């Protein structure tokens, strides 16, 4: 088992370089947004995160725990409330950059405590001892750093599903030097945990959903490039599929095998990136994550 120090050092070494700001904007497609509000429910602190139990949630033998990393907590609470399923939610909004998310869960005992505190909080609020039938991890943007850290630990066996929403980056395995006519290789050590999960998802043991835009950071591998690397590692090829996606998004590709799904969407602007966060409930419902 890797020591907490070794995991921390790996996380520090694998933090991507700052991205080149995108000059692109988009006025072609709608990018609908919800005005911030406080969904009805109860909130309790869980470490650096917040436990949310929506109004109307009842005790259930098939209670799920959704742990989400990065993005406005109220919006994730909205998604969980919209789904109207037996889901307790813990959100983490820790700051900018994948490094802070990786470091926050470098010690395996920290996620252990999240699970213990979440079960205790739900049990107290619902008035009945509660355990979680499944544990689902989701992230947007930089939040993948926490998921990668958790998947590298003994917690891997407990995770049922992972959904990465424009949220998997890596360093390049070669130096970035000026214009290039072909993709650079992705550093495999940066996506090792996701590659392992993809293999298990193809076999049907776990579930992995990767949804990504066409945003191109330039100084490190984009979500498109890392998704391509995952597909190559699983022996799969990207399949073109044009269709309308959630909230007016334009789907370009869809590759599925077993319980692995890699979905590509158009757009290389900031609104295209943010769309993925607003589409969370639609994506979880479409891919039957909680069924």
Range from 5-9, 31-35, 72-76, 253-257 carrying the lowest mean pLDDT: 5-9
Band (pLDDT 50/70/90 cuts) for residue 7 is very low
The per-residue pLDDT for range 185-195, each reduced to its tens digit, is 999 999 999 99
By three-state DSSP, how is residue 226 classified? helix
pLDDT value at residue 182: 76
- 60 or 18, which is more confident? 60
Beta strands in the chain (DSSP E): 41-46, 49-54, 64-69, 87-92, 134-140, 159-165, 207-212, 240-244, 250-257, 260-265
Among residues of the chain, what percentage have pLDDT more than 70? 90
pLDDT value at residue 179: 67
Distance CA 142, CA 9 (A): 18
What is the residue-averaged pLDDT of the chain?
91
DSSP 8-state class, residue 143: G
In this model, does residue 59 exceed pLDDT 80?
A: yes
DSSP 8-state class, residue 92: E
This prediction has a pTM of: 0.91
Residue of 165, 171, 173, 145 whose CA lies nearest to 19: 171
- What's the CATH architecture for 4-17+35-173+182-286? 3-Layer(aba) Sandwich (3.40)
CA 218 to chain centre: 21
In this model, does residue 14 exceed pLDDT 70?
A: no
In this model, does residue 178 exceed pLDDT 70?
A: no
Among residues of the chain, what percentage have pLDDT more than 90? 80
Distance CA 266, CA 172 (A): 23
pLDDT value at residue 192: 97
The per-residue pLDDT for range 68-118, each reduced to its tens digit, is 999 999 999 999 999 999 999 999 999 888 989 999 999 999 999 999 999
The per-residue pLDDT for range 201-222, each reduced to its tens digit, is 999 999 999 999 999 988 899 9
Distance CA 47, CA 41 (A): 19
- 184 or 101, which is more confident? 101
Range from 21-30, 83-92, 104-113, 170-179 carrying the lowest mean pLDDT: 21-30
Task: Classify the phi-psi angles of 127: left when phi > 0, otherwise alpha if psi is within -120 to 50, otherwise beta.
Answer: left
Band (pLDDT 50/70/90 cuts) for residue 10 is very low
| Alpha-carbon dihedral angle through residues 206, 190, 264, 183, given to the nearest 10 degrees | -140
pLDDT value at residue 27: 77
């Amino acid at each position: 088992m890797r020591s907490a120090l070794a995991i921390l050092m790996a996380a520090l070494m694998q933090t991507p370089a700052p991205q080149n700001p995108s000059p692109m904007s988009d006025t072609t497609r709608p990018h609908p947004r919800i005005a911030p509000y406080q969904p009805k429910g109860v909130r309790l602190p869980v470490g650096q995160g917040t436990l949310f139990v929506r109004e109307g949630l009842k005790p259930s033998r098939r209670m799920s725990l959704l742990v989400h990393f990065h993005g406005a907590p109220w919006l994730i609470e909205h998604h969980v409330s919209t789904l109207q399923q037996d889901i307790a939610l813990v959100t983490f909004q820790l700051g900018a950059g994948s490094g802070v998310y990786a470091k926050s869960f470098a010690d395996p005992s920290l996620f252990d405590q999240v699970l213990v505190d979440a079960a205790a909080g739900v049990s107290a609020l619902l008035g009945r001892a509660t355990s979680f039938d499944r544990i689902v991890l989701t992230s947007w943007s930089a939040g993948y750093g926490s998921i990668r850290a958790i998947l590298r630990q003994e917690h891997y066996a407990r995770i049922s599903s992972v959904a990465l929403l424009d949220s998997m980056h890596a360093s390049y395995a070669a130096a970035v030097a000026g214009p290039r006519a072909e993709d650079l290789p992705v550093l495999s050590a940066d996506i090792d945990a996701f590659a392992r999960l993809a293999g298990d998802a193809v076999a049907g043991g776990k579930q992995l959903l990767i949804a990504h835009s066409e945003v191109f950071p330039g100084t490190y591998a984009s979500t498109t490039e890392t998704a391509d690397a995952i597909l190559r590692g699983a022996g799969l090829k990207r399949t073109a599929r044009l269709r309308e996606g959630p909230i007016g998004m334009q789907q370009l590709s869809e590759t599925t095998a077993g319980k692995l799904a890699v979905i590509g969407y158009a757009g290389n602007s900031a609104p295209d990136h943010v769309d993925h966060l607003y589409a969370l409930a639609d994506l979880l419902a479409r891919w039957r994550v909680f069924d």
